[in-house]
Amino acid sequence: MHQPNRRATSLRAARSAILAALFLHIAWMGLSVTNPQASAASVTLGTTTLSDQSQSTDWVFTNSGTTATFSTVGGGAPAIFDYETADISGSLPSQLTGDLPAHIFLTSTTSTAGASLFSGAVDVQPIDSGTLQVLLDTPIDGKDNLLTVNFTNADIAGSDGGSTLAFSGTDGLGGGSVAYTSDFLNFSGTTTNDSFQFSTANASDLSLDPNGFLDDFTASGLTTFSFDNSNLTVSALAVPEPSALVLFGVGLIGMGLAARRRR
């Protein structure tokens, strides 16, 4: 007598399980698909401008006599970062388009003395190695690494006694290297002649000490900041869109309900 009801209950439970599995499959596909890669002859990964010009000190060069450091201070330089989508293969998630509030962190060291060029008009300070990071202020799906650059053989250049400096690193000069990582971009292929640079017009007077190192100085403001690359393959990695996360949650709920009905 109770057999038909039991059968109907089993059919309903089976339908619920199938629908839940379908939702889960669709959601999983949305979470796991990555964009195809493509190479470009010349790539600009991103540009950055300082978001708060009132910051009094963002960059500090500290001379220790035979060694020196150049780094950001005060929690890093506040910035607005923009990915250059035209030079990145695949579509960036909507959360990564437009202006992205971020902070820039630089740590670098050197034990190499600089030199005066053009009859002492320009001072050049080599930087042996360092790391430059652009991190999101508000992480997306727990990730915040917009771009990290590990480099060797960079340099600081500016007019002697002036307040404008340029900091740059270029792969291939003096055996230097530039390597990129990101939570949102995939890098592959060679990275010959990659470079990054920024400049500021608000530095202390630049000058070399008797040992050839730049004297201590502070700098604020960020007029330009960019990553220019050649012979580099880069593509956007998939990041769960809010709608995909909702769909994934619906699938999990459906699976739970189906299991509860079976019990």
Domain boundaries, the chain: 3-31+244-262, 39-237
Give the bridge partners for 135, in sequence order. 103, 145
Q: What is the mean pLDDT of the chain?
A: 75
Helix, strand or coil, per DSSP, at residue 34: coil
Residue 103 near residue 79 (C-beta atoms within 8 A): yes
Element (H, E) at 86: none
Please write the tens of the pLDDT for every residue from 191-202: 555 678 888 888
Here the tokens at position 163 are 């307040």
Closest C-alpha among 112, 194, 191 to residue 156:
112
Residue 255: what pLDDT? 66
| Tens place of pLDDT per residue across the chain (263 aa) | 444 444 444 434 434 433 333 333 222 222 222 222 333 334 567 777 766 555 567 899 999 999 999 999 888 888 888 888 777 888 888 888 888 999 999 999 999 999 999 999 999 999 999 999 999 999 998 999 998 989 999 999 999 999 999 998 876 656 788 888 899 988 875 555 567 888 888 889 999 999 999 999 998 877 777 777 665 677 888 776 664 444 445 556 666 666 666 65
Closest C-alpha among 255, 230, 202 to residue 59:
202
Q: What is the pTM of this model?
A: 0.72
Residue 124 near residue 80 (C-beta atoms within 8 A): no
